[in-house]
Structure 1
């Protein structure tokens, strides 16, 4: 049974239409890779799912609820945890304060986040503004986990990070998949790493879904056509 269902999703920024028909489906415990070149609608789709941009048409359901009727804070309370592009940590707060600010009842607490990212425990009293980019990304992921989501949404979680940190983030995503059964929606461009963690993939082109299926069936022809430079 699908946890998240998106059908025929359309959305605009004012008079400029950005989504022309996005379709995707994500089951409980599944990892879905949302792929496409820059500017093809990936982040816009995430914004609509999370209630930060209104849909102009289409269906959008999560755990049986119509997300089009809800505001972003209500969607978060339903169980969608967002790791936004650009991290957006609370710079004046410490690591621990950032995590506590997002906490909701459930299995994920500071100790469990620190087990996933030991570096956050080491820097628990540091201001978020003083962290490296990779540490801020770990904090952003930890903050989303502290909401105890049913669906974790990662929007470009490894972009711009050093290779060693990227591998640490991918390792954490792999552990989340293996150990929690949490549904995960990942927006990223690195096909090699995505193949290691994702079950399904959806490719967007010019604001619409042009391919979907098991990521293992994604062929070189498709990747060159829709993901190549």
Structure 2
């Protein structure tokens, strides 16, 4: 049974159409990679799911709830946690304050987030603005986890990070899949790392879904045509 379902989703920025009948499903406990070159509609799709931009037409359903009828904060309360592109931590709050600002009761609390990212416990009283880029990314993921989501969405979670930090982030994502069974929607350019964790993939091209299937069926020809530079 689908946890998230997009059916013929269309969206606009002003008069410019950004999404053209995008359709895909995401099941409970599944990891889905949303792929495509820059500017092809990946972040727009995420913004639509999170209700950060209006949908012109199509169906958007999460856990049998019509997301089209909900504002962003109510969609989040249904169990959608977003790690946005650019991290967007609260710069003047410390690590603990960032993590607890939108926390909701459930499995994920400060102790469990600290176990996943021990560095956050070490930086507990440090302002987010003074953290490294990698530490801010860990903080953004931890903050989303502390909303105790059923679906975690990560938009370019490893972009611009040093290789060793990227590996820490990927290890944390693998832990989330293996130990929690959380549904995860990933946007990332690292095909090798995605191949180690993603169950399925959807490729967007000019705002339309042009391929979907098991990640293992993603061929070099498809990658070169739709994803490679």
- TM-score, normalised on structure 1? 0.99
Distance 2:91 2:30 in 1: 32
Which residue in 1 is equivalent to 2:186? 186
Q: Give the alignment of 1:43-82 within 5 angstroms.
A: 43-82=43-82
Q: Which residue of 2 aligns with 1:171?
A: 171
- Give per-residue Cα distances to partners, 1:36-55, cap 9 Å, x unaligned: 00000000000000000000
The superposition leaves residues 172-202 of structure 1 with CA deviations (integer Å, 9 ceiling, x where unpaired) of 0000000001000000111000000100100
Structure 2 CA distance, aligned partners of 1:223 and 1:215? 11
2:168 is paired with a residue whose SS is helix
Equivalence for 2:89 = 89
Query: What is the TM-score normalised by the length of structure 2?
Result: 0.99
How far apart, CA to CA, are the structure 2 residues paired with 1:137 and 1:225?
A: 30
Gaps (5+ residues) in structure 2? none
After superposition, the C-alpha distances for 1:119-173 in whole angstroms (9 at most, x for unaligned) are: 0000000000000000000000000000000000000000000000000000000
Q: Tell me what 2:40 maps to.
A: 40
Query: Which residue of the partner structure matches residue 103 of structure 1?
Result: 103
Unpaired stretches in structure 1, ≥5 consecutive residues: none
Q: In structure 2, what is the Cα distance between the partners aligned to 1:21 and 1:225? A: 21
Q: Give the secondary structure class of the aligned counterpart of 1:139.
A: helix
| 3-state SS in 2 of match to 1:115 | helix
RMSD between aligned alpha carbons? 0.4
1:11 aligns with 2:11: yes
Instruction: Find the aligned partners of 2:4 and 2:136 in 1 and give their Cα distance.
Output: 28
Q: What is the alpha-carbon distance in structure 2 between the residues aligned to residue 170 and residue 10 of structure 1? A: 31
Aligned length: 229
Task: Report the counterpart of residue 136 of structure 2 in structure 1.
Answer: 136
1:198 equivalent in alignment to 2:198: yes
Describe the SS at the equivalent of 1:194. Answer: helix
Q: How far 1:24 sits from its partner (Å)?
A: 1.2
- Return the offset for 1:28: 0.3
* Alpha-carbon distance, 1:62 to partner: 0.3
Partner of 2:112: 112
Runs of 4+ aligned residues of structure 1 deviating over 6 Å after TM superposition are none
